[in-house]
């Protein structure tokens, strides 16, 4: 069946926030961590909700750590955030062609909106599902199913695109098709073992997948 709906993770998929995320984790860990953390260790924190990642560091100060992270992250968005190559143009074409588009992210809703605005994609997506919009974060299917419900979409004609295994598993758990992105900061191998239906070398590969070149 032809793809009619495309759901996107945000950070690391459409917008390059990797260095911002790493800087925000570094800032937080310097304040609350029990030791210095390497870049490689910090990369493993990327993807899950903040409370899960930071809870591994200091379970007694999760709220303070999340607040410190979000303050740094929000304050530095303008300095770091940019869209990946060809992403803005591709999203505009998809919208013009009538595809239903949504963001499904573990970011809180208003921070996701900020990232989209800075990257030049404000108003493109019909629905944004943030961490604060659901009870269960990816890889639970709820965020994907919530987007599908709000879009009045058909899971059989829906594709979930992301850079983290949580995105692939959330899509699979919700019964939709999935696509990983080869520019994931942890490398394409980190996604391939979860067997997404597709792997994008570049964002414009979407047109081949949906048969709309």
Bridge partners of 167? none
Residue 47: phi, psi to the nearest 5?
A: 125, -60
Residues 6+ apart with CB under 8 A from 34: 57, 58
- Tracing tokens 């709820």 back to the chain, one arrives at 142
Q: What is the DSSP annotation of 84-110?
A: PTTHHHHHHHHHHTT-EEEEE-SS-HH
How far from 63 is each of 32, 45, 132, CA to CA, in Å? 11, 16, 15
Catalytic position from the list 9, 11, 16, 163: 9
Catalytic annotation on 9? yes
Q: Which residue, among 209, 200, 210, has the nearest Cα to 86 in the 3D structure?
A: 200
How far from 67 is each of 24, 32, 50, 106, 114, CA to CA, in Å? 11, 12, 10, 15, 17
Residues annotated as part of the active site: 9
């Amino acid at each position: 069946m032809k793809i009619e709906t495309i759901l996107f993770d945000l950070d690391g998929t459409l917008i390059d926030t990797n260095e911002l995320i790493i800087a925000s984790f570094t800032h937080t860990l310097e304040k609350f961590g029990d030791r210095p953390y390497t870049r490689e260790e910090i990369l493993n924190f990327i993807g899950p909700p903040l409370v899960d990642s930071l809870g591994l560091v200091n379970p007694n100060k999760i709220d303070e750590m999340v607040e410190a992270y979000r303050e740094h992250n929000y304050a530095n968005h303008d300095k770091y955030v940019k869209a990946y190559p060809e992403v803005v143009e591709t999203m505009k074409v998809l919208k013009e062609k009538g595809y239903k588009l949504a963001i499904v992210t573990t970011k809180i809703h208003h921070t996701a909106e900020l990232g989209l605005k800075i990257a030049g994609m404000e108003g493109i997506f019909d629905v944004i599902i943030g961490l604060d919009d659901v009870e269960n974060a990816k890889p639970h299917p709820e965020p994907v199913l919530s987007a599908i419900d709000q879009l009045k979409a058909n899971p059989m004609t829906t594709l979930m695109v992301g850079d983290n295994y949580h995105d692939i598993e959330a899509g699979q758990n919700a019964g939709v098709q999935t696509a990983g992105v080869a520019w994931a900061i942890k490398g394409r191998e980190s996604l391939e073992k979860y067997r997404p239906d597709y792997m994008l070398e570049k964002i414009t590969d979407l047109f081949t997948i949906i048969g709309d070149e």
